Chains A and B, each alone.
Chain A
C-alpha cells in the first residue's frame, strides 16, 4: 500500500506541474476528447444537439436548451457542468449508454477550468515548435548538451538526481548496438578502454556513424514503417522483387541524405525534374502495400485498400496522426474531416504502379558484351551453313556456304509467303473501354493503360471504306511498358503479360456480323483462337508462354462486308483476374483467298511483300536474322546464340510509382462509411485545414504533397521524426504514443526538449547522423542503467530518464550479434533477400502460399537479419518470436515481450546453435588457459570481462561438460558440429557459448 500511496503522489504531482504549463491541454482537452468529442466534436455527421465543444466560440453559443454549454468563470451557469454533475440518468453527460462515466477528479478538473475562464489553447503538437531557452539547473556541471539541461531540470523538479556515467564497457556496447546494430569486438573495446584522449568517446561515435553498418541498422527501423516485405501478402502471398528499395534506404541513410530529401524521393521521386533511376526506386515506399492475388477478388477494391494504407501510413510516418480514423467518418477527436482524408488520398491516388527494371552498370556491360557476341554469330552463321561435301570442294569456301544459306532462306520465305494476305492496318475513329484508357499510337496500334477490371470491354469503331472485307486481324504487340513486355496486361493472379480474349464480335449498325472461323499464330494450351468466337464467355484466346513477342489472330467473315458507314469491333477480356490486351493493331483484308494467322512479325511480313530486288541492305539483314532465329532448319546453327541468350543476365526489377499522364487522371471520391463500393462526392487534392496550407500555385500532385510534409512550417514532422529517433535510443518516445500526436495521444514527458530537437533537426540541415550524434553525446544517454529500488518506486518506467536506457535488443540484432561474435556474420551488403536456416515447415505448414524455404548456401546463410526474406503470412520464425514485424502494416513501435518461446529459440534454434558451434571452434583453437578462454568468450558475447564469481561458475560448467564428453556420455560431434581439432574441446566450448547467448545480458543493451 505504501507503494500505491507514493505512486499516487507522483501522479498528482504531475497534475500540478501540468497546470503551470498548460492546464487546458494537459488536463481538460484529454477529458473532452475522450468523453465528449465523439458526439460534440469535429464530425458533423455524428454531432448531437448541434453542440460542438472542440471550438470555444461554438461552445459559448446558447444551445438548444437556451443556456450555453460554457459560461466562462461561472460553472454553475454552464450547461456542460450541470450535465456532468447531474444525477438524472436522462440528463447526465456522458450518457450512461456510452459506458464511459467521468470520474469525480475529472469533473473537478472541468469545473476548475470553467471557473478559471474556460480558456482554450491550441493543441501543443499543432503549434510550430520553438527552441525555448535552456532551463536553469542546480547541478550545472552535469549537462553536456542542451538535451541534458531539459532532462536535469525536470529531474530536479521531481527531487531526483541523474545517474552516474556508465563504464566504458557499457558505453561502447550501448553505442555499437544503437548506431550499427552490432556488438563491439574485443579489439574495439580494448582500444576504447585504453584510449586516454578526452575525445575517446567521440571518436567511437564518429567511427560508428561512418560505418556502412549504420545504414543497415537504421534501415531496419525505417523498413518497419515502410511495411517492407518480399511477398505480396494475403492468400497466395507470392514473392515480389522490391529489394532495390530496401537497398536504396540503406544507401540513403549511410550517405546521411537529409531527411527532407529522403522524404521527397520516397513519396514523389518520379516527379522530380530529370528523376534518376535511384529516385524512382525510392518511390517503392508506397509500393510496399499488399497485393491480393486470390482468385476472384475485385482488383480495384484491393487497390482501394492499398490507397487507404498509403494515406494511413503517410499520416503515421510524417504527421504522427491517425488519419485512418477519418476513412469512414470525420475524425472523432482530431480536426480531420472525412473529406480531407480523401483529399489527401487524391494526391497519392494519381499514380500507375509499374514494375521497373533496375539497370545496373555491371549487368549492362555484361549484356552488351553478350549482345555483341550474338551479333557476331548472326553475321557469321550464313558462312557456316552446311553444303554438300562435293560442292564445297569445287567452289570457293565461304561463298558456297553463303549461297546455300540464301537458297534455304529464299525457300523458307517463299513457303511462308504463300499464306500471307495483304493486310491493311486501320486507325479507329473511336476507341473506348469500360475503364481502361485506349490511346491510338502513330503506328496505328492501340495502347491500353490505366485501371483494369475483371471484365474489360474494348469497343473500336472504324470507317468501313474498303469494299468486301473478308477477314480481320488483331495483332497483339509487345511493349516494354507492359508486364513482362506484354502483349497482355495481366499483373496479378494470372501469368504476367498474358491476356485472354474471351469474346470478339464484329458489328455493323448494331448488328452482329457472322464470323466463320478464327486462327491464331500462337496460343497457350486450350486457349485457342476459336474460343474467342464460341459464344462461351468463360473461354478465350491467350498466349501464356509467348510473352514479350508479337502474336496475331485472324477472323474470317462468313460473307464479305459491304462498304459504307462504319463497323465496330468489341473485344471482351473477362477472367477471374484482369486479363486485358495491352497493345494491339487491327487490320483487314479483302482478298478472296481465305486468310489465316501466320507466325510472322508484321515488319517481316511487310518486307516479304516487297520484290526481293527492292529490299535495302538493312531490310535484307532483318530477314536474314529472322530466318536464323526462327526457321526450324537453323536450329542446330543457332544453338550457340541460344546458349548466349540464356546467359544474358536479367536486370532486377522493383516496384515503383509513376504519375499518370495528364490525359488520364484518376478521380478520387469520398467513400461513404469508407466503403469501396460507396463513392460519393468527387474531391481534388488538398491538405487538412488545421495544418499550414499548400504554397500558392503549387501543382496539386504528389511532389507538392511531399514538399509540404517536410515544409519548415509543418509543426508535426520534426517532432514526430525526432520522437521516433529518441525512442530508438531510449526505448520509449518523449511522446509514448509514437504513432499518435493528436488529442488522443499521450502528452510529451519533456515538451520543451521535443520542440528543441524538432527545431534542431531543421537547423542541422535535416541530418540524421548529426542528430544521432547529438543524442549519444549527451550525459543523459551515457548514464548507467542500474535500477535502484528507490528509483523504481519513483519512476518505474524511466520516463524522467534519471538512468540510462536498458532495452532488449530487436529481433534482428539478437541474431546479428550472435553471428557477429562467433565470426560467422557476412559483411555483404544489399541484393536479393536470403534464406538463412530456420526450423522446418515455417513457410509451408498450413500456409496457403507455400514457400519452399531453400536454405541459402555460403555467406548468404549468415547475412544480417534485414536481408532475410520476409514472407508476410509466415515471417521468419525467430524474428516473429522476438516481436519482429510481418510487414502487413506500418509499424511505428515494436512491442517488446519476454516469453518462454524466446527462451526456447535462444536455447535450441538452429541459427543460435550454429553460432555457438562457431564460437566453440574459435575458442577451442586458442592455446591459452581455460580461465583466459572463458574471459575471452565472455567478452566477445557480453563485452565486459566476467566477475571472479561468474568466471568460477563458467569454468565449473565447462569442466563438468568436458568431463562428461570425455566419458562419452554425450555425443560430442553432434554438439560441436563440423570442424577440426579436439571434438570434445569444441563441444564443451559450444555448450558454454550457448549458455552465454542465453543470458539476459546477451540480448540487452544496458
Chain B
C-alpha cells in the first residue's frame, strides 16, 4: 500500500540506500559472514530490516500460527480423556505409589478420586472421543490432532504458562511467537507480525508470555486491545484531523529527510520507514477492526458480536489478521482454573469458546488457509483426577493442578488430521503411552514452521539460546 503522501519518502529512502551504498551490501555481508539467525549487529538492521522475510531451515508446512491458549488449564478428564475407572474409584484416594512425591497447589495428596463430570461420545470418521460440552468441536473433530499425552514440569499457573511459551519457567526468555518472527520475519508492514488478544480473566503469566526476552523488542507480541485503541495510540489525539495528521507526517518526513542528508546515519532512514508504517497502521488497524463488512453468516458461524469483545470476535479477528499477513497470533482465554465446580466451569468456558474454535477451523478451511495455518489449542497443564474440596475456601467438586498429564489439540499447518495420539493410565494420572513433553511440542511446532529447533538460536550472555533449551524432540508421528 503506497499512498500518494508516502511515495516521496520511499523514493528518498531508495535514493539514499543506492547512493550511500548501504543496505543490500550490508545485509548480504551479514548473511554471508554470520549465521542468518545470529544477533544483529549493524545499526541498519535494528529497525524494520529485522522484520525482513527470511527463509527457514527447510520449507515449513505452516506459514502462520494461531495459538488458542486456554489459560488456567482446562480439565482434560472432563473434555477429552475419558476414564471410566475414575467412576469406579470415585471417593477413594489414589494409591501413594502412583502419586509419588508430587507437590500440590491446594489439595492434599490423599484427596479422593472424582469421576468424569460429563458424558463422552465418539465423533466423526476418526471416532475421537469428546465430552458433551463441546458439541461444535465434535463436528470438526476429523480436522483435529488430539494429543492426550502432554506433560509439563510446572504445577503453578504463571511459571507453567511462561514455560509453555518460552521453554523456561522464569520470565526473561523469548516466546514462541517471538522466535517465529525472529526466524521468519514479517509478511506485512501494515500490521504487527505477532499479535496477542485476550478474553476472560487476567493472564497469570502476564506479558512474559509474549515477550521477546533477550531478542530485540521488535519481536515482542503486540496486544490488540479490547478497550481504547486496538493498538496503543493508533488513533489521533483529540483535535487532530486526518488532514493535520497527514500534514504532520509530511513535515516530519521532510525534516527527517534533510537530517538524513546532512548526518548520513542510516538509522534516520529507518526512522523514516517507521513513520511510514505508523501512518499505514492508522488506516489498517481501524479497517481490521471493522467487522461490519463480514457477512452475517460468518458472524453467526463464530457467534461474534462485531462491537463486543469476546473470544468469538477474537477468533474472527485472528482470521482477518492472518489474511492481512500477520504471522503469529495468541488468543488467551483465561478462566479454566476450576478449583471448585469443575462441571460449571467447563460449561461456562466451553459455552463461550466451543463454537468459535470450530468456526475458526471451518472458516480457515473455506478460505483455503487451514493447510498452511497451524491452530493450537490447550492450557498450561492438566487437572487432577482427585477432587478439590475445601470448606474454608468454599470449594467443592473441583480439580487441582496436574502437570503429569493433559490434553491439547492442533489442526492444519501440516499436522495429521483425525488422529488421537498418546494415552494416560487408567486413572488419567500419568502418561502411559507416547509422552509428549512441552519441549517436544515446541520442537514439533518449530519443525512445522520449517525450523530445526536446535538451530534456531540466538547468542546471549555467552550462550546460544533456543526455545527448547537443551531438550525437545520432534514428534514425527504428529506430522501429516
Contact B222 A901 (CB under 8 A): yes
- A737-767 contacts to B, CB under 8 A, are 737, 739-740, 742-745
- Among B46, B248, B265, B332, the residue within 8 A (CB) of A994 is B248
Contact of B239 among A237, A526, A788, A970 (CB under 8 A): A970
Nearest A residue (CB) for B256 = A1000
Contact A296 B401 (CB under 8 A): yes
Contacts of A846 in B (CB 8 A): 198, 202-203, 223, 332, 334
Counting chain B CB atoms within 10 Å of each CB, which of A898, A970, A1001, A1006 scores highest?
A: A898
Residue of B nearest to A796 (CB): B42
CB distance from B243 to the nearest CB of A (A): 7
Q: Is the CB of A903 within 8 A of B227?
A: no
Q: List the A side residues contacting B172 at CB < 8 Å.
A: 888-889
A950 partner, pick from B32, B218, B255, beta carbons under 8 A? B255
The answer to whether A899 touches B274, judged by C-beta atoms less than 8 angstroms apart, is yes
Give, as a whole number of angstroms, the nearest-CB distance from B427 to chain A.
21
* B461 near A324: Cβ-Cβ < 8 Å: yes
Give the CA-CA distance A4 to B30 in the complex, in Å: 10
- A722 part of interface (Cβ distance < 8 Å): no
What number of A-B contacts does a CB cutoff of 8 Å give? 311
User: In the complex, what residues of B have CB within 8 A of residue A886's CB?
Assistant: 171, 207-208, 211
| Binary B-proximity of A313-327 (CB < 8 A = 1, otherwise 0) | 000100000101100
A234 at the interface (CB under 8 A from B): yes
- A903-B278, A961-B247 known; A789+B21 contact, CB < 8 A: yes
When the two chains form their complex, are residues A808 and B206 in contact, meaning their CB atoms are under 8 A apart?
A: no
Cα separation A32 to B358 with both chains bound (whole Å): 53
Q: A745-B462, A974-B239 are in contact. Are A847 and B202 (CB under 8 A)?
A: yes
Q: Are A744 and B463 in contact (CB under 8 A)?
A: yes
State whether B237 touches A908 (Cβ < 8 A). Answer: yes
Q: Is B264 an interface residue (CB 8 A)?
A: yes
With beta carbons under 8 angstroms apart, the residue of A7, A297, A888, A953 that contacts B156 is A297
B residues less than 8 Å from A127 (CB atoms): none
Cβ contact within 8 Å between A839 and B239: no
A469 at the interface (CB under 8 A from B): no
Q: What chain A residues lie within 8 Å of B170 (beta carbons)? A: 305, 309, 888-889
Does B390 sit within 8 A of A, measured CB to CB? yes
Q: Contacts of A104 on B, CB cut-off 8 Å?
A: none
**Does A895 reach chain B (CB closer than 8 Å)?**
yes
Distance to closest chain B CB from A55 (angstroms): 20
Q: Is the CB of A872 within 8 A of B206?
A: yes
Q: How far is the CA of A840 from the CA of B32 in the complex (A)?
A: 45
Of A75-83, A405-413, A531-539, the segment with at least 4 beta carbons within 8 Å of chain B is A531-539
The chain B residue sitting closest to A990, CB to CB, is B239
Q: Within residues 284 to 314 of chain A, which ones have a CB less than 8 A from any CB in chain B?
A: 290, 292, 294-298, 305, 309
B89 near A: Cβ within 8 Å? Answer: no
A874 partner residues in chain B, CB cutoff 8 A: 206-207
Residues of chain B lying within 8 A (CB to CB) of residue A998: 248, 252, 275
The answer to whether A845 touches B225 (Cβ under 8 A) is yes
Binds A, one of B58-66, B75-83, B102-110, B293-301: B102-110
Stretch among B141-149, B228-236, B407-415, B438-446 lining the A interface: B228-236
A4 in contact with B25 (CB, 8 Å): yes
Determine the distance from Cα of A959 to Cα of B17 in the docked complex, in whole angstroms.
Answer: 34
Chain A, 847-864, CB within 8 A of any chain B CB: 847-850
Q: A797-B41, A949-B258 are in contact. Are A322 and B462 (CB under 8 A)?
A: yes
Tell me whether A282 is interfacial, beta carbon within 8 Å. Answer: no
User: Which residues of chain A come closer than 8 Å to B46, judged between CB atoms?
Assistant: 895-898
Q: For residue A244, which residues in chain B have a CB less than 8 angstroms away from its CB?
A: none
**Which of chain B's residues have a CB closer than 8 A to the CB of A737?**
461-462
Tell me, rounded to whole Å, the shortest Cβ–Cβ distance linking A515 to chain B.
20
Question: How many chain B residues touch the partner (CB < 8 A)?
Answer: 108
Chain B residue with Cβ nearest A976: B239
CB distance from B263 to the nearest CB of A (A): 5
A294 and B206 form a contact (CB under 8 A):
no
What chain A residues lie within 8 Å of B20 (beta carbons)? 789, 792
Query: A848 and B202: CB pair below 8 A?
Result: yes
Q: Which residues of B contact A742 (CB under 8 A)?
A: 462
Cβ of A3 and Cβ of B29 under 8 Å apart? yes
Pairwise interchain contact B462-A904, C-beta atoms closer than 8 A: no
A913 at the interface (CB under 8 A from B): yes
The answer on a CB contact under 8 Å between A295 and B47 is: no
Let me know if A570 is at the binding interface, CB within 8 A. no
Cβ-defined contact, A1006 with B263, below 8 A: yes
Q: Is the CB of B198 within 8 A of A845?
A: yes
Residue pair B462, A744 in contact (C-beta under 8 Å): yes
Interchain CA distance A969-B26 in the complex, whole Å: 47
The answer for the CA separation of A742 and B351 in the assembled complex, in Å, is 55
Given A785-B265, A786-B264, A886-B211, does the pair A970, B462 have CB atoms closer than 8 Å?
no
**Do B216 and A297 touch across chains, with their CB atoms under 8 A apart?**
no
Tell whether A185 is near chain B: CB-to-CB under 8 Å. no
A116 sits at the interface (CB 8 A): no
A1–B334 Cα distance when bound, in Å, is 53
Task: Pick from B158, B171, B222, B223 the residue with the most CB of A within 10 Å.
Answer: B158
A841/B264 contact (C-beta < 8 A), A898-B271, A909-B233 known: no
For the complex, what is the distance from the CA of A737 to the CA of B460, rounded to whole Å?
8
B166 CB to closest chain A CB (Å) equals 12
Across the interface, do A11 and B267 meet the contact criterion of CB distance under 8 Å? no
Most buried by B among A531, A793, A848, A886: A848
B432 contacts the other chain (Cβ, under 8 Å)?
no
User: Chain A residues with Cβ under 8 A from B232's Cβ?
Assistant: 839, 842, 877, 881, 901, 904-905, 909
Distance in angstroms between the alpha carbons of A961 and B244 in the assembled complex: 7
For residue A714, CB closer than 8 A to chain B, the reply is no
Q: Which residues of chain B from 172 to 214 have any CB-CB distance to chain A below 8 Å in the complex?
A: 172, 192, 198, 201-208, 211
A242 within 8 A of B: no
A235 and B206 CA atoms in complex are apart in Å by 7
Which residue of chain A has its CB nearest to the CB of B455? A99
- Separation in Å of the B88 CB from the closest CB of chain A? 26
Could you say which residues of chain A place their CB within 8 Å of the CB of B270? Answer: 898
Tell me if B3 is interfacial: C-beta within 8 Å of chain A: no
In the complex, the answer to whether B158 meets A292 with C-beta atoms within 8 Å is yes
Q: What is the CB-to-nearest-CB distance from A853 to chain B, in angstroms, rounded to a whole number? A: 12
| Residue A669, interface by CB 8 Å | no
8 Å CB interface, B383-407 against A: 390-393, 400-401
The residues of B that contact A324 with a CB separation of less than 8 Å are 461
Write the nearest CB–CB distance from B314 to chain A, whole angstroms. 11
* Cβ B239 vs Cβ A987 within 8 A: yes
Q: Is A144 an interface residue (CB 8 A)?
A: no
CA distance A297 to B158 in the complex (A): 10
Most buried by A among B232, B235, B256: B232
Which B residues touch A744, using CB under 8 A? Answer: 459, 462-463
A806 adjacent to B263 (CB under 8 Å): yes
- The answer for the CA separation of A947 and B22 in the assembled complex, in Å, is 27
Give the complex CA separation of A889 and B251 in angstroms. Answer: 40
Q: B236, A908: Cβ atoms under 8 Å?
A: yes
Give the CA-CA distance A971 to B274 in the complex, in Å: 28
In the assembled complex, the Cα of A305 lies from the Cα of B198 at a distance in Å of 29
The reply to whether B392 and A3 contact each other, CB–CB distance below 8 Å, is: no
Instruction: Indicate if the CB atoms of B243 and A536 lie closer than 8 Å.
Output: no
- What's the minimum C-beta distance from A38 to chain B, rounded to whole angstroms? 11
6 CB contacts below 8 A, A to B, read A792-B21, A847-B206, A848-B202, A873-B206, A953-B254, A970-B239
Which residue numbers of A lie inside 8 Å of B, CB to CB? 1-4, 7-8, 11, 99, 233-235, 237, 290, 292, 294-298, 305, 309, 316, 322, 324-325, 332-334, 526-527, 531, 536-540, 576, 677, 736-737, 739-740, 742-745, 785-789, 792-793, 796-797, 806, 808, 839-842, 845-850, 872-875, 877, 880-881, 883, 886, 888-889, 895-905, 907-910, 913, 947, 949-950, 953-954, 957, 960-961, 964, 969-976, 987, 991, 994-995, 998-1001, 1006
- 18 extra interchain contacts, Cβ-Cβ under 8 A, other than A789-B264, A1000-B267? A4-B29, A7-B26, A99-B454, A237-B206, A296-B155, A297-B156, A792-B22, A841-B228, A846-B198, A848-B157, A848-B158, A883-B217, A895-B217, A899-B47, A904-B231, A908-B237, A913-B237, A999-B256
